[in-house]
Amino acid sequence: MSETYVVAARLRLKKKAVTAWLRSAWPDAKSLRWPKKPALAFGGEAPRSVRHGLAATADQVAESELGGLVAAWDGAARSFLLYHVMIGFQPDAAARSLLAIAAAAPHWTLKKPTHALFFAETGARLCSEGVMAAVEIGVGGARFVSAEPVAPAAVKDLAPAEARWDEALDMGLLDAMHDPAMLQAQIRQVAQYPPLKKRKREVSTFTTAKEWLAAIAAVRVVAHGEKAKKSTEYANWGQFERDIMAYAGQARRFGVKVKPKLKAMLTRSAWEPGVIAFWALNQLSQETNEPTHYLEAITLWRTWSEAHLGWARGEVTGKEEAGATADHKAALAGTRFARRGILALARSKDELVP
C-alpha cells in the first residue's frame, strides 16, 4: 500500500488567465463531473476563491507537514504547474486540489484538453502504473475520464511539474514556499500560516562539537499555545522542519568523532534531536564518502521510529519517499540501496550494515 499520493497538473494558461482563474469563486463540486461512486469527496467549508483553496492547502502543508505543494506559473513552460503531495491518504486534500484544477476549465482556450492525474506513488518517480484517477480539463468543462488510455502521455506532460517539485525538495519545502517560482504570489498572499508570510530566525553556526551536540539535544517543538522562549525551541513543526538541515549540515565540520553521540540520540532521544541526528549521519556519509554511517542511521531508525508513534511516516521520510532527494541519493551512491527510499529501507528485513 502506498504511503504517498500526488495530484499533479500542467495547465496551459496565459498569465492573465491564471490570475482570472485564481481569483474566481470556489467551484461547486458539481462543476467536476464525479463518477457515480467517487473515492474522493470534498468536505468542510468551501474556500472563498480558488487561490484561497490552494492557500488552505499550503497552510495545511506548512502546519502539519503531511506532504508538500508546488503551485506556480512557469513562463518557460507557458503553464501553471501544480504538484500536491500527500503523505497518507487524505481524500479532502486531494479533492480540494482536483476541484481547484477543474475551476480552470472556464479559462481554457486550447482545442486540445489536458489531464490532471491522481497518483498512488509507486516509487521515486511518477509513472502511469500508479495513476488512480484522471480528470480532463477542456473548453467543455472538467470531468473524470478513464485513466488507462491517457496516463502515459499525461505523465510525460507532467515532467515540468515534477522537476519543479524536485527543485522545491532540494531547496527545503518551507523555504520553497516563499519563492514565487514554487508558490504563486497571489496564493501566498492569502495564506494564513505565519511562516509563509515572513522568515524566522536562523540557526547558529557552532564553533565546537560540544556546543553543537548540546544544542541539538535541546531542540524541542513546544506544546500548542506555548511560546518558544529559547533559541532551540520552536512554536510549530513547520519552523522545526525548515531548520533540520541547518543543524544537521554542521556535522560535516566536526567529522566522525561526533558519530557515537549522534547514534545515541537515535536510541534514547526525543523525536526532534533524533531526526536531526539521523540527517547528521547522512551528512557524515557524504563528507567521508562512507555510506556505512547513513546505513547505520537507517538501521537504528527502524526501532527508534517505532518507539515514537510511527512517525517515520512524517515529513523527513515522506520527502524522501516522495522525491528521493539529492542528499539521500548522494549518501547511498554506489551501494545496492542507492535507488531505494527511506521508508522501504526502514521496513526492509535486509541486514543493512555488516
Closest Cα to residue 123, out of 302, 9, 3, 10?
Answer: 3
Amino acid at position 183, single letter: L
What would the pLDDT profile of 190-207 be if each residue is shown by its tens digit? 998 877 776 556 899 999
Tell me the percentage of the chain whose pLDDT exceeds 70: 85
Q: So what's the pLDDT on residue 196?
A: 78
| pLDDT given at position 268 | 76
Residue 107: φ, ψ to 5°: -105, 5
- The label of the residue with cell 507537514 reads 65
Q: Where are the domains of the chain?
A: 4-195, 201-347
In 8-88, where does DSSP find H-type helix? 15-23, 50-64
Partnered with residue 68 across adjacent β-strands are 85
Q: According to the model, what pLDDT value does residue 320 have?
A: 52
Residue of higher predicted confidence among 57 and 169: 57
Virtual CA dihedral for 60, 216, 263, 311, nearest 10 degrees?
A: -20
What angle do the packed helices 237-248 and 209-218 form, to 10 degrees? 160
Other CB atoms within a 10 A radius of the CB of residue 349 amount to: 5
Structure-model confidence comparison of residues 102 and 320, the more confident one: 102
Of 75, 67, 71, 68, residue with least CA distance to 54: 71
Which pLDDT score is estimated for 135? 95
* pLDDT value, residue 10: 97
Contact assessment for residue 318 and residue 342, using Cβ atoms and an 8 Å cutoff: no
Are 87 and 318 a contacting pair, CB within 8 Å?
yes
Amino acid 105: pLDDT? 96
Q: Report whether 161 contacts 120 (CB < 8 A).
A: no
Lowest-pLDDT range of 1-10, 167-176, 194-203, 336-345: 194-203
The Cβ of residue 224 has, within 10 Å, a number of other Cβ atoms equal to 7
Residue 309 cell numbers, joined: 508513534
Least confident range of 7-16, 31-40, 80-89, 132-141: 31-40
Residues 135, 100 contacting (CB under 8 angstroms): no
Q: How many CA atoms lie within 13 A of 208 on its CB side?
A: 3
Q: For residues 339 and 253, which has the higher predicted lDDT (pLDDT)?
A: 253
How far is residue 116 CA from its own chain's centroid? Answer: 18
- pLDDT band for 326, please (50, 70, 90 cuts): confident
Question: Quick one: cell of 78?
Answer: 507557458
Check whether 237 has a pLDDT greater than 50: yes
Whole-angstrom distance, CA of residue 98 vs CA of residue 93? 9
SS3 of 259, please? helix
Average pLDDT of the residues of the chain: 84
pLDDT value at residue 30: 82
